[in-house]
Amino acid sequence: MGTATVTQPRLDTTDLEQQVKEMYRKVALDPGGDFHFELGRALAERLGYPSAELDRVPAQAIDSFAGVGYYFGLARLQPGESVLDLGSGSSMDAFVAALQVGKSGKVVGVDMTDEQLAKAERLRAGAGFDNVSYLKGYIERVRCADGTFDAVISNGVINLAPDKQQVFDEAARLLRVGGRLAIADIVTEVQLPAGITGNATLWAACIGGAMQVQQYVEAIERAGLRVHTVQDNPQYRFVSRNAQAAVGKYGVKSVSILAFKA
């Protein structure tokens, strides 16, 4: 009798990048469309963004907001600080950060999806956010010098990255000593099986790439950052049936994390 070999599906990262770009192209161009996740102002308010702050941000940026948590309470951005937003999308968080750091500060958003960058730049120019700029590129390798930023922020993005260690290493490189990483992201209580982690479509849907929370924290610390806070964001709800099933089975959830560069 022969021995059966079980081949575990391996993630096709080229396919994943195309699927993520296609998903967020639609988020930029047609935020009222049908998505497996929530978008927009009601989501932002439920997560904890103060309405008074949202009132000062272009409404179209809020319409395409696809974040998973509010981490600005942890980030405590100060006037004059420089901030990097990894996966800045249509720029709602970059605008919120820009209001907090003021005209003497600066915010740089990085994203790989052309339509998100074009929308963000159009809204930035229209609203006169002179302290915000964007870089087209990957969060795994950002074209900025070591120690450039006081804070690195990110919302709902790192779960989409195939190599999260590379993202955290890059964030640590870009932070000054004493600077902080303040993020919200999707993680799991239990390691997802290979049938899910090998499926690019489930990654693009913000499930397949979710890392087990303890491993996620360890990856941040391996990058040379000290994790200070990990808090659950129960206000974040999963809308698709697939995602809701994964919540029950694997403890898929949103967390906000604050870490410092020693």
Ligand X SMILES: C[S@@+](CC[C@H](N)C(=O)[O-])C[C@H]1O[C@@H](n2cnc3c(N)ncnc32)[C@H](O)[C@@H]1O
Q: Which chain residues interact with ligand X by CB under 6 A?
A: 20, 24, 65-67, 87-89, 92-93, 110-113, 116, 138-140, 155-157, 160-161
CB of 67 to ligand X, least distance (A): 3
CB of 154 to ligand X, least distance (A): 7
CB of 153 to ligand X, least distance (A): 9
Residue nearer to ligand X on the CB measure, 13 or 80: 13
Residue nearer to ligand X on the CB measure, 2 or 85: 85
Residue nearer to ligand X on the CB measure, 153 or 217: 153
Token pair, residue 117, equals 């960058």
Residue nearer to ligand X on the CB measure, 7 or 207: 207
CB of 2 to ligand X, least distance (A): 41
Q: How many residues make up the chain in this entry?
A: 262
Token pair, residue 86, equals 């990894």
Contact predicate 186/206, CB 8 Å: yes
Residue nearer to ligand X on the CB measure, 89 or 105: 89
What is the rounded CA–CA span in Å between residue 259 and residue 182? 7
CB of 37 to ligand X, least distance (A): 8
Residue 107 zone, left/alpha/beta (φ > 0; ψ -120 to 50; rest): beta
Cβ-count burial of 144 within 10 angstroms (0-12 exposed, 13-18 middle, 19+ buried)? middle
What is the rounded CA–CA span in Å between residue 168 and residue 1? 47
DSSP 138: B
